[in-house]
């Protein structure tokens, strides 16, 4: 196998810069971020127990309904986010750390007391009618977006090698936001039941599930993905990714979306606009989400190309497959058409991702994992019929 040294150097540089393959260890008693995380999640868990504790027995049907319904609601979300955790994919344990921060610390340790205080401040400064109309939208985007983003900052502290690019911020932000969203949803189920003093608890939890579940498609997971991608651009932790203006504007955009969603009633003004506003805001949010995703993925796509460069040179993968693996949806669609087989294209893309991951794990060296991943690719391409049949 002949490998051009420049390409090998680019591969090693991509592995180093992306931190891909570096192990993630949560238990780091020598790391301040670990203790701040423990304080936040511990404080949040205590607040959560105090919040639900007194009424937990009476409101068991509502709480159980909320936990089951929103637990099921998580399944498609995890599948969707798993699909987007591509390129230099983040380890599951790191994403779980973010999810728990969003659900427990950001919601109960930060947002609950901070929101109560800021809502009161708006009522004092602008009057109760002003607070009723605009208070939520002027409160949540500040407290909740920053509360969730603290989780990303702590993960940078816990895993500085792994959290590098804007795309890392996008994916981790989405997990933190999803955690916040479902824990807040269960809180809304509980509050809804207490507002009715426990009448028809299952019915009220189902009602909250339908409303919040639908709204959740363009809610906290989306806000945080955008906000955290913006924060990563401001921090500029990858070479060439320090784009402060773009980062600040992206963060502000997430906060404006959050504001618009929370103050939709006041923005609609009780007119016909109010009926169409949710759909308009949702459409704008989704367009912005994919715009941010596309730009955030740029550095990671380059890393993947550099990481797999020597494999292209060696003929293990061909350029169209490299384009599909390092590209966007349209590139993968193009590759499917090129192969005339959706299944084969999907298998080859996934097997190439496996190979990239094994190369990153091995730090660019040869390893049994790398050798096996190459063999798998060869088998899937049908290079070795004997091998293919023996599987």
Partner 1 sequence: MVASGQEAPRDWVPVEHRFLGLDRRTFKVGFSALALALVLIYGLQGLNAAIPWHNEIRAGQVLDLGGGATAVPPTGWQLENGTLTGDGAASATNLQVVLATGGATIELDGTSYDGSAAGFLDQVERSEGDPPSVSGAQGSVVTDAGLVGVVEGRTGPSGDGIDVAFKMAVGTTQAIDSAPALLVRVRAASGQFEKYQDAIAALLRSITPGVTR
Binding site for partner 1 (CB under 8 A): 23, 25, 28-36, 39-40, 54-55, 57-59, 109-110, 113-114, 117-118, 120-121, 123-125, 127-129, 131-133, 143, 146-147, 150, 153-154, 156-157, 160, 194-199, 270
Token digits of residue 212: 């919040």
Q: Are 147 and 106 in contact (CB under 8 A)?
A: yes
CB of 110 to partner 1, least distance (A): 5
Distance in angstroms (rounded) separating the CA atoms of residues 109 and 128 = 26
Sign of the four-CA dihedral 101, 102, 106, 107: negative
Measured from the CB atom, the residue of 67 and 114 that comes closer to partner 1 is 114
Measured from the CB atom, the residue of 117 and 244 that comes closer to partner 1 is 117
Q: Are 62 and 189 in contact (CB under 8 A)?
A: yes
Distance in angstroms (rounded) separating the CA atoms of residues 163 and 95 = 11
Measured from the CB atom, the residue of 77 and 190 that comes closer to partner 1 is 190
Of 309, 311, 255, 315, the C-alpha closest to 285 is 255
Angle, helix 32-52 to helix 136-158, in steps of 10 degrees: 140
Measured from the CB atom, the residue of 1 and 125 that comes closer to partner 1 is 125
Measured from the CB atom, the residue of 62 and 324 that comes closer to partner 1 is 62
CB of 222 to partner 1, least distance (A): 21
Q: Any idea which residue has 């991608």 for tokens?
A: 229
Length of the chain: 391
CB of 280 to partner 1, least distance (A): 22
Measured from the CB atom, the residue of 198 and 369 that comes closer to partner 1 is 198
User: Residues with Cβ < 8 Å from 255, sequence gap 6 or more?
Assistant: 141, 142, 145, 223, 227
Token digits of residue 370: 């790398």
Measured from the CB atom, the residue of 25 and 239 that comes closer to partner 1 is 25
CB of 59 to partner 1, least distance (A): 8
CB of 120 to partner 1, least distance (A): 5
Measured from the CB atom, the residue of 34 and 73 that comes closer to partner 1 is 34
Helix, strand, coil: what percent of the chain each, to 5?
A: 80, 0, 20
CB of 386 to partner 1, least distance (A): 33
Measured from the CB atom, the residue of 193 and 293 that comes closer to partner 1 is 193
Q: How far is CA 140 from the centre of its chain?
A: 19
Of 328, 258, 260, the C-alpha closest to 84 is 328
CB of 247 to partner 1, least distance (A): 16
Token digits of residue 150: 């603290």
CB of 153 to partner 1, least distance (A): 4
Q: What secondary structure does DSSP assign to 120-168, as a single string?
A: HHHHHHH-HHHIIIIIHHHHHHHHHHHHHHHHHHHHHHH-TTT--SHHH
CB of 86 to partner 1, least distance (A): 26
228 membership: H or E segment, kind and range: helix 220-235
């Amino acid at each position: 196998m002949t490998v051009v040294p420049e390409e090998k150097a680019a591969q090693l540089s991509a592995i180093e810069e992306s931190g891909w393959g570096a192990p993630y260890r949560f238990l780091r008693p020598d790391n301040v971020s670990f203790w701040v995380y423990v304080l936040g999640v511990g404080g949040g868990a205590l607040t959560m127990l105090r919040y639900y504790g007194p009424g937990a027995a009476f409101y068991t049907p509502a709480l159980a309904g909320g936990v089951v319904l929103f637990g099921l609601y998580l399944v498609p979300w995890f599948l969707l986010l798993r699909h987007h955790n591509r390129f230099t994919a983040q380890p599951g344990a790191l994403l779980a750390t973010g999810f728990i921060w969003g659900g427990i610390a950001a919601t109960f340790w930060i947002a609950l007391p901070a929101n109560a205080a800021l809502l009161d401040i708006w009522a004092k400064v602008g009057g109760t009618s002003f607070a009723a109309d605009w208070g939520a939208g002027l409160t949540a985007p500040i407290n909740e977006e920053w509360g969730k983003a603290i989780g990303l900052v702590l993960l940078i502290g816990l895993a500085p090698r792994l959290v590098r690019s804007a795309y890392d911020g996008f994916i981790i932000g989405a997990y933190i936001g999803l955690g916040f969203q479902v824990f807040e949803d269960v809180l809304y189920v509980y509050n809804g039941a207490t507002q009715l003093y426990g009448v028809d608890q299952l019915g009220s939890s189902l009602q909250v599930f339908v409303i919040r579940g639908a709204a959740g498609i363009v809610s906290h997971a989306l806000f945080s993905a955008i906000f955290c991608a913006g924060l990563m651009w401001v921090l500029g932790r990858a070479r060439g990714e320090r784009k402060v203006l773009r980062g600040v504007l992206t963060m502000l955009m997430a906060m404006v979306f959050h504001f618009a969603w929370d103050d939709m009633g006041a923005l609609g003004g009780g007119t016909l606009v109010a009926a169409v506003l949710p759909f308009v805001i949702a459409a704008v949010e989704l367009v912005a989400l994919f715009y941010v995703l596309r730009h955030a993925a740029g550095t990671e796509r380059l890393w993947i190309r550099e990481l797999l460069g020597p494999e292209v040179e060696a003929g293990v993968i061909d350029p169209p497959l490299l384009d599909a693996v390092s590209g966007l949806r349209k590139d993968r669609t193009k590759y499917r058409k090129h192969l005339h087989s959706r299944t084969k294209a999907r298998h080859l893309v996934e097997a190439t991702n496996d190979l990239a991951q094994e190369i990153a794990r091995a730090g660019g060296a040869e390893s049994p994992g790398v050798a096996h991943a190459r063999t798998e690719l060869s088998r899937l391409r049908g290079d070795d019929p004997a091998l293919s049949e023996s599987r």
